[in-house]
A = this chain, B = another copy of it.
């Protein structure tokens, strides 16, 4: 057997393990995943896992990273809207929010697990930070454009961009907690959220 074929065989079993793990996570969530459940499903002994993975965390990390990358990939450049830059911004967030909702477990794990798993997942986090900061820069630019063309009021663009992120994060969390929301309802919530966010409620801004 050639070395390559051997490596392919190894990769195959690795992906069989990951496949079983994905199935379990889909049905029972990340917390429902256990080494013995995986090995029962693939009819191997529990110890086999440690021949293909360092530990259980490596399995979870791998799967979480896949989902997180799907989310990051949603952060693509959207069609430029010269007249209504706010539509551009809303579309970027809308894509991101939907991708996050499609990968709940993974998003939650990346975002708020400070426990065993994500201590040294620097790789995945770096990717996230890199992509997010690029998106943030793009967002700032769009806001700046809006200000320059007199459509947006004068503001600290970086700060405004950050508040938008924070606020969108809250919306994502809210939508994730209240599960079983219909697609069109999600769209409506995103719509009104950003509408309110853009418009603000103050009339005399100079007083703030």
**Nearest-CB residue, chain B, relative to A205:** B199
Contacts of A147 in B (CB 8 A): 201
Q: Given the known A-B contacts A159-B192, A169-B173, are A153 and B199 also in contact in the complex, defined by CB atoms under 8 Å?
A: yes
Told that A31-B115, A111-B177, A200-B201 touch, could you supply 17 new A-B pairs with CB distance under 8 A?
A112-B176, A143-B201, A152-B201, A153-B199, A155-B196, A159-B192, A163-B167, A166-B167, A168-B170, A169-B173, A170-B171, A170-B173, A195-B208, A199-B205, A199-B208, A200-B200, A200-B202
**Nearest-CB residue, chain B, relative to A152:** B201
- Report the copy number of this chain in the oligomer: 2
Is A126 among interface residues, defined by CB-CB distance under 8 A?
no
Size category of the binding interface on chain A: 35 or more
Contacts of A108 in B (CB 8 A): 112
Contacts of A115 in B (CB 8 A): 29, 31
Give me the 7 closest cross-chain CB pairs, A-B, nearest first.
A200-B200, A170-B170, A167-B167, A169-B170, A163-B196, A152-B201, A166-B170
**Nearest-CB residue, chain B, relative to A172:** B170
Is A119 among interface residues, defined by CB-CB distance under 8 A?
no
